[in-house]
Amino acid sequence: MSVFARSTILNVFFAGLTLIALALSAPAGAADVGDQAKLKAPLLDGKSVTMEQLKGKVVMVNFWATWCSTCKAEMPQWQKFYDAHKAQGFEIIAVSIDEDENELKKQAKERGFTFPMAWRFDDKTQAILRTYLNLRYRLLPYTYSVAWQVTSAGSTFMQPLVMDFPKDPKALDIGNQYLFGPEIMVTPVTTAGATEQAVYLPTAGAPWYNFWTGDTATAGQNVQAAAPVETLPLFVRPGSIVPMGPFLQYSNEKAPDPTELRVYRGADGKFTLYEDEGDTYDYEKGQFATIPITWRQSTHTLEIGARKGSFPGMLQDRTFNIVWVSANHGAGVDLTSKYDSVVHYKGKAVRIVAR
């Protein structure tokens, strides 16, 4: 898939998470984007300014994060946005939330603009944004593989619960939860100040897993999930296999090796890991590779199947770090501290028995 396609599909899920986090934690005086004429934003000294006063200054669009450093040249939508605001007297600099403030001042000075930075989130908000940016990039192997299922098999990124749980009558009326890919259930929080969120766990034959803690909860019931502003309720269905890559600053910074395979036991499951060059359309010519991964609950066996296909730059030898998810083990965004098994994979089928 192209860089543009990759950026677009990833933002289906994580742009929503970021906007929710921003909406619930925006500082006083934050912009009302629905009325640009009255827009105000906090400066470094805590004062606010009008849109007119911002002209001739550098506007930092700092929650658009790492991938926007080059998107002006690659994305027509960004170019249109940039040109429209440039015509009004603004200079837009898209930066990462991790950028050093001195570097921002340097960028502003090089462009001949006065500083103050027009928008700056507090430390708590930046930590929230950083968590979800890290989650976005760690989930790239999962998201990219789901994108392949959308392309090749007509699957969907987001789907209502009724599509996967048609025999559960309670799932018919759930309008505020959805599956992101086949494994992860998302429950957006839209109430400011909320600390808990009611979540229905569809009947699945085995307990669901809390993504953030690894704790399990019985299927077919409502639970009150912790939902402070920094925690979006995410539950993983039993039988899921979720591949997670390394921490990245941008999507093609480095190869996805090692890959952490989180296995959520309790039911049979399967997942097909898909990879290609990442920045061309050569997958349309058959230049891609897939690795089938299967979990068999009855024998407690994980099979990483033989790789099919190839593409230029493909990893010939790679490492899969296996995690049998449980409470406080294989949970959240961070790398798991101790793996249950380490597999050095060379393209041939490998079986691992959970001990």
**Residue entry with tokens 């050093």:** 100
Q: Using one digit for the tens of pLDDT, what is the confidence trace for 105-121?
A: 665 566 554 444 444 56
Q: Using one digit for the tens of pLDDT, what is the confidence trace for 62-77?
A: 333 333 444 444 455 5
| Number of helices followed by number of strands (H, E) in the chain | 8, 21
Do the domain assignments include residue 112? yes
Q: Which domain holds residue 218?
A: 158-236
309 and 206 within one domain: no
Do the domain assignments include residue 308? yes
The pLDDT value given to residue 129: 87
206 and 249 within one domain: no
Return the amino acid letter for 166: P
Is residue 310 scored above 50 in pLDDT? Answer: yes
Do the domain assignments include residue 139? no
Question: DSSP secondary-structure letter at 313?
Answer: T
Do the domain assignments include residue 8? no
Is residue 325 scored above 90 in pLDDT? Answer: yes
Q: In this predicted model, which residue has the larger pLDDT, 349 or 128?
A: 349
Read off the pTM. Answer: 0.72
User: How many domains is the chain built from?
Assistant: 3
254 and 230 within one domain: no
Nearest partner of 21 among 30, 149, 341, 287, judged by Cα: 30
The pLDDT value given to residue 251: 87
245 and 349 within one domain: yes
324 and 222 within one domain: no
Is residue 296 scored above 50 in pLDDT? Answer: yes
**Which percentage of the chain shows pLDDT scores above 90?**
59
346 and 283 within one domain: yes
Query: Average pLDDT of 90-96?
Result: 48
Final residue belonging to a domain, choices 236, 255, 281: 236
Number of Cβ atoms within 10 Å of the Cβ of 34: 7
CATH number of the domain encompassing residue 175: 2.60.40.1180
* Cα(214)–Cα(235) distance, integer angstroms: 9
200 and 163 within one domain: yes
286 and 217 within one domain: no
Q: Taking the mean position of all CA atoms in its chain, how far away is CA 232?
A: 12
Asked if residue 161 lies in contact with residue 179, where contact means CB atoms within 8 angstroms, the answer is yes
> What DSSP line would sit under 118-173, residue for residue?
S----HHHHHHHHHHHHHHHHTHHHHHHHHHHHHHH---SEE-HHHH-TT-GGGGG
263 and 191 within one domain: no
Do the domain assignments include residue 2? no
Final residue belonging to a domain, choices 236, 260, 277: 236
Average pLDDT, the chain: 78
